[in-house]
Amino acid sequence: RSMSAAPGREGFFGSALPVFSTSAALTAGQSHRFGGVDDAGRAAIAASTPGTYRSNLGLIESSGQPVVVRLTLRYSFSTGIKTSAEGLSSLSVPVAANGFVILNEISRAVIGSSRDGYGDLRNMQLDVEVVSGAGRVSPFVQTIENGSTDSAIRIQ
């Protein structure tokens, strides 16, 4: 379960990870694509801009065996008033046996320091692939609306 508070508002907002079968978890050579992933730039996050979203990725290893997961992010960004470019970035992430890894602001984690120059990234595709190890990984994406801090968790 994820809980957060919005500045200037009473109470907490949150979401819970849905129950899913460990047999549906990814094994070596398998992958899962999350489409429509948004990740706001730092300015939108700091200003709590409504209608912008930040996204986190969670990886849960459930079989007691370590794995390495490759994350591949496909995104578009503005390069001028009338032009844009396509980006492709990858990152390998080790997940320990029975481990839980959370990557906050997924685009920053995968793209790195050049992420700061891209502003709000919308409708990205994130591929999660188990590239080695005998374990099983269940990925999920947590999306948080910056204005309200409402959150949703996706496993598909």
pLDDT of residue 6: 56
Give the tokens for residue 79: 């390069």
Residues in contact with 60: Cβ distance below 8 Å, sequence separation at least 6, in sequence order: 25, 99, 100, 137, 138, 139, 140
Q: Structure pTM?
A: 0.86
List the chain pLDDT tens, one digit each, 156 residues: 555 565 665 665 555 656 667 778 999 999 999 999 999 999 999 999 999 999 999 999 999 999 999 999 999 998 888 888 999 999 999 999 999 999 999 999 999 999 999 999 999 999 999 999 999 999 999 999 999 888 888 987
How far apart (Å, rounded) are the C-alpha atoms in residues 149 and 154?
16
For 55, 103, 156, the CA distances from 110, given in Å and listed in that order, are: 12, 9, 20
pLDDT of residue 15: 57
Give the tokens for residue 43: 């300015």
pLDDT of residue 95: 98
Bridge partners, 74 (sequence order): 88, 125
pLDDT of residue 131: 98
Burial 4-43 (b: 16+ CB within 10 A, else e): eebeeeeeebebeeeeeeeeebbebeeebebeebbbbbee
For 10, 88, 127, 141, the CA distances from 156, given in Å and listed in that order, are: 31, 21, 12, 9
pLDDT of residue 25: 95
pLDDT of residue 114: 92
